[in-house]
Structure 1
């Protein structure tokens, strides 16, 4: 049906009329989108079936990637691109008077993730399929995702994200493969033939129904699967609850991503989500394995289960439960299989992100799982005692259960065969500080896998103008071998290539400027420097440092008529977690500053501040190609890796950043002359944390610029904010500036001046841009996934 445009048009028109019972002339854009989506899904169905058959026939080892988030973005465009049929579809639709881009715009971003964690998972799925590797995703089919962000009077307002309002054309509901998941109840223990038998009784059952989505590889016949679980009421209703209460509580499990866990009710729901994901996924994996191999004794030889951060770590005790209670194995055999099946990626050094669950919540909700975790902890601590006799403090620090809490990161390390960080610095910090004691016990488990991004979405799809220029220069093999982007280095100083590159950047800036105007009503100077910081809003990411610097520039422009800057457009995009009130105040601060700056005729020709609401994948696809400067300014040692830094780099933006996360590896790739580095190093930050010595008041009192901007947070400079920014003021002075914003301010301001100077040397800037693009191939998720496949999962290409 996609072999040529005439055949495509014929099938498209016939299918549309059959599906909707109306003439083509009466159809809506949404009708056209659903028709095209169904055609694509039907087109790949045979490859989807054959991929699974090929894997079974070869008895290939499979990896199952468990993640609480998969931030997929829109799928129509990337699927057409990966299948190589976009051109036929675009031309055929054009002859019917339909704009393919308009159809793509009608697709909702899949509401299955929040930030870097979920986007990484999505990139990994793309690379697994494109490299013909047998790998599948397992997640939750959230009805509403995180939230739709609206900015009202400068404040973030959260609305339900209705991504499923019109259905999801890519999914296939597979009710026959549903899994029963058990909560609450009690465990009965009996002795049967000299063996202890555990039965989970009086449980509250929830039915996990799978929805499968195809993951289409680029230029290949491989179609892997993303299986998303929806929580639905079981036919076995609990006796002690009303039907409506049970229904509400059940459906809440897959209703929202990251429910507010400020209170016990929210904590229970989050823990329910996590166990629901792993119980359904492990149950599905085990069922498929039993069907092919008869029993689970060789599970670890044919299955790798990878847990993305701590959210799916209950896969460890759940697999133990299946092996012990359903398969009847001994503890030792079950533990041997489990600890050779599960691997774990750590994504953070922030203690608050290393999940800990109160026993008073965990034990009643998951009674059998708690018993297994308790036994794992008991045996682990006994082993520690034998290794470190008398070192009670060490054992207390390393215990999985301690002080009324179950520590998920500890369980992850003890129960897995590999533990990886996501950038060289992050992995070293894990080994030397955050997980030092575990590294001393299990040095063979720890390794590094620096994150990557799929260049097919973030360059080929998001920036077709740049992709065409690259292909014209070095050929098309970079699409399947991204490391060959290095061939562009020979063009970096070529004047004609630089001019072409500058033209592409200008085209992309015009596209973003149009979108900014449509969304905000603000006209930005397309020849200004587009200075961009888009990412989740968190204090350690230091959007505040960026804002204080803009305030300083504004003050100088107002006070000194002889002072001028090269025009800048500062662009922000970020969602703050609904319960993270400090982050929400930063959003209000950005918008209050924008209101002041953008409407001041004395400054607005040189300075604009834009906050783009509801930052998401489809918006990011317009932002990254247009950026001149990539703001990667987290407090050193706090950002595990970052992937936005890679997307900016791949699109020719130059990084201003600290030596943190993957910034370090970008620095190593492009060289110090092609990146702008400032601020404290990770060692200096860690030294301050360990030994003290930092006093933010000293910077406040000794730098007039700092004192002025900090005072402006509370002195009426922002008349629309009242006392709203006092907590920000207090964080910098009363709480001693935990993330060293004031300490790094002067170096940051000086580095920004240097950027303005270099930018005006257009040949130099375009050379830097070309070098960044050339070296970005190293940060393709194809490289990352191949490393996982070879060094952690032991999986191999199906072709």
Structure 2
């Protein structure tokens, strides 16, 4: 290990020569990235081994966080920061004429996740390691990410996200720790000594090969750092199974089909589930993750030589949304079939081991699987689910003998569908929502029957983000200013950011905040101009909406308002307004036509606005393609306005709202998700709240009374922009191009109340402009947002999970 800049430079140059056989002046940026990342992984490997040994010796309780997504982003810069080497390495490379920022650009964003669910999992892993908890991730090593988004003629086009093309320097393949996962076949039942025994026959086996990634905790002032593990599973053929499938001469294609079938399990993040084969593959992925992960966890547990009665005292298994719910019947299967436990005792162990986070109240996102599909794919596991359901329904019938409708509604299997959320609740000791409002809605509406049955299991854990990536690394100038002003303790105790409130009206401090924001806006503007060829006014308000494209997130409301502003300027060319730059970033699911049509509309509006000489000095619109963690790190520090405008009651929490707040952006938002808790701290003075609240939305859903057509007919502004969707003119080239959007608003009665909230939204934007004109007032608001953002660090969230759900303590060094 090097301890100073000169040692680093020497070791780095030695590695370049010995590993590449090139002098330093001949290496490419990609070469430098490869050498530097390998050096860091090797250095981290020592602490990784030390942490693992400490965990074995102390036999501490360990958490395993199962998730289909881990949106970890690029690791080089973040790992350098957490290892305490970022400034040393940056300075050393500068001396050698190498830009660390350029080197970081050589790393691909790991294609292991899609949106908030996966990014939350990544933030949680960072906090677990940084706080010294024994907590590991368990996921799938996807060969291809969701997709690489290209915008062609305004349309989203999906290309393969081949993120592993150049390898992944941070992973270590552990072929010696492979696990066999079994699909298909049939269950053979036999009786002996009055007991039933079950065996799976004629199954198809696959190898799950683990690839381990070190999760490096923040060093701070400590002499060393804690390193946990993200274990990613890759599916590979079992040679014996392939040979069996050959059968005899002429069956070579059976062999190829078997191999292809196996490799497809870990090939794509979220395979297309619009057809049966795609849904089957997605179910296969879920069981693959659960079976491989659980067998690996139990293999580690077996080294303790303890009874499985003590499993909940040493192991906590957490399922991130319903995707890993099959871990519940899989653990039952292992305990009953392989460990010899009776049903009741096994079920008691399961229900004290597994905990579950619910991430959605959208009915279409609550997973259901055809019972026959599960029965065919994993027949023994289906038998276990069926038995869990029978016993669960028996409990319900005893408790509610006169309410068969409630029993049917709560059943795990009903109408030939397996309801994964119901299975997750029945088999977990803790069920948590991810924001106070979300948890209240779960308890009072969506999961009310289950809450009445198990009130002690439900709790709230408001989401958080790691301030290390989203402030310290993404916004180093702001990091430095805060540290100069209040010291460095906030880096390990982020709630102490509140100390900067004393500078909120300090003119010198405000001036420094303004300069940092301006520099970040210039950096983003340079990126946009280089990529899209359009200059950006860095004196304009940077208004940002970056998140998955979904109707309830209401990107459509945002762009309709931009169209309204365009119409205003065209009708009043001398209009005195603060210039606005609207920035969008989002991916739409490949089969989600309405979302893709919204992307096309945003790009059409951008093309019109950015090329209209009457408007372009006052209004710009950009849709930044292929939104990712690394792109977010460029956008978020530059944002003035954070658009968090989902229909109230629809967004479980949100985490983009927290990242933008932490970097000094002001929120325009509804009282939805974590916006509510932000508002409780910031109030009307420091946020721009608009629109219906959750109770009003739910009242409309329950009792009706809303007519989008009436709103359309009564507000000329709304009528003009909605008509522009189907009237050939500046935005629509023909009557049908954006007809689906028009129909969703008018014929579909505006399910997400965009027209209802339009007037309130437009008025909030007027307030934003008025506030921005007084920079002293604006900067005070910005500082208040930064100061109160410490509550939304994932360190706080993980400490709550650790003490209130998992019952674990930091590992003592």
TM-score, normalising length from structure 1? 0.99
Match of 1:510 among 496, 513, 522: 522
CA shift digits 1:520-565 (9 cap, x unpaired): 1111110000000000000000000001100011011111234332
Match of 2:249 in 1: none
In structure 1, which of residues 388, 403, 419 is the aligned counterpart of residue 400 of structure 2?
Answer: 388
Structure 1's unaligned 5+ residue stretches are none
The match for 2:429 is 417
Q: Distance in 1 between matches of 2:183 and 2:17?
A: 47
Match of 1:124 in 2: 124
Pair 1:235 & 2:239 matched: yes
| Cα shift at 1:719 | 4.5
Answer with 316-325 or 445-454: which moved more: 316-325
Q: Distance in 2 between matches of 1:6 and 1:773?
A: 36
State the SS of the aligned residue for 1:610: strand
TM-score (ref. length: structure 2): 0.97
CA RMSD of aligned residues (A): 1.0
Is this contact kept in 1: 2:61–2:315, CA < 8 A? yes
Specify which of 750, 757, 767 is matched with residue 754 of structure 1. 767
* 1:427 shift after superposition: 0.1
CA contact (8 A) 1:237 1:243 kept: no
Residue 537 of structure 1 is aligned with which of 549, 553, 572?
Answer: 549
Cα distance in 2 between the residues matched to 1:399 and 1:193: 33
Q: Tell me whether 1:41 sits opposite 2:63 in the alignment.
A: no
The reply to whether residue 576 of structure 1 matches residue 584 of structure 2 is: no
1:344-743 equivalences under 5 Å are: 344-717=356-729, 718-720=731-733, 723-743=736-756
Deviant stretches of 4+, over 3 Å: 238-241, 719-722
Displacement, 1:296? 2.0
Counterpart in 2 of 1:6?
Answer: 6
Deviation at 1:140, TM superposition (A): 0.4
- Alpha-carbon separation, structure 1, partners of 2:527 and 2:22: 34
Q: Distance in 2 between matches of 1:85 and 1:745?
A: 49
Q: Does 1:782 align with 2:795?
A: yes
Counterpart residue number, 1:337: 349
Q: Distance in 1 between matches of 2:673 and 2:406?
A: 29
Report the Cα offset of residue 324 of structure 1. 0.7
Task: Write out per-residue CA displacement over residues 580-631 of structure 1, whole angstroms, 9 at most, x where no aligned residue.
Answer: 1110000000000001111000111100000000000000001010000000
Using a 3 Å threshold, how does the CA distance of structure 1 residues 721 and 35 change in structure 2: closer, same or farther?
farther
Given that 1:422 and 1:450 are in contact with CA atoms closer than 8 Å, whether structure 2 keeps it comes out as: yes
- Give the structure 2 partner of residue 19 of structure 1: 19
| Deviation string, structure 1 residues 249-287 (Cα, Å, up to 9, x no partner) | 111111111111011100000000000001000000001
Give 1:721 deviation, angstroms. 6.3
Distance in 1 between the 2:169 and 2:307 partners? 36
In structure 1, the residue matched to 2:229 is: 225
CA distance in 1, matches of 2:322, 2:305: 30
Contact 1:47 1:223 (8 Å CA) reproduced: yes
3-state SS, counterpart of residue 237 of structure 1: helix
284-293 vs 712-721, greater mean Cα deviation: 712-721
Match of 2:251 in 1: none
Alignment deviations for residues 202-235 of structure 1 (CA, whole Å, 9 cap, x no partner): 1111110000000000015200000000011112
3-state secondary structure, aligned to 2:191:
strand
SS at match of 1:298: helix
Partner of 1:301: 313
Conserved 8 A contact 1:696-1:742: yes
Map Cα deviations across residues 309-329 of structure 1 (whole Å, 9 max, x no partner): 000010100111111111010
What is the CA-CA distance between 1:91 and the residue it aligns to?
Answer: 2.1
**Cα gap change, 1:281 to 1:698, in 2 (>3 Å):** same
For the residue of structure 1 that corresponds to 2:150, the secondary structure is strand
Using the TM superposition, give the Cα deviation of residue 24 of structure 1 relative to its aligned residue in structure 2, in angstroms. 2.8
* Superposed displacement of residue 94, structure 1: 2.0
- Preserved CA contact (<8 Å) 2:188 2:198: yes
Select 1:268's aligned residue among 280, 286, 305.
Answer: 280
CA distance in 2, matches of 1:438, 1:547: 40
Alignment deviations for residues 645-673 of structure 1 (CA, whole Å, 9 cap, x no partner): 00000000000000000000000111221
Query: Contact (CA 8 Å) 2:642, 2:660: kept in 1 or not?
Result: yes
In 1, distance between residues paired with 2:408 and 2:157? 43
Aligned to 2:195: 195
State the match for 1:792 in structure 2. Answer: 805
Count of residues in Structure 1 that have an aligned counterpart in Structure 2 = 799
Other-structure match for 2:260:
248
How far the C-alpha of 1:720 sits from its partner, in A, is 4.3
Alpha-carbon distance in 2 for matches of 1:745, 1:132: 47
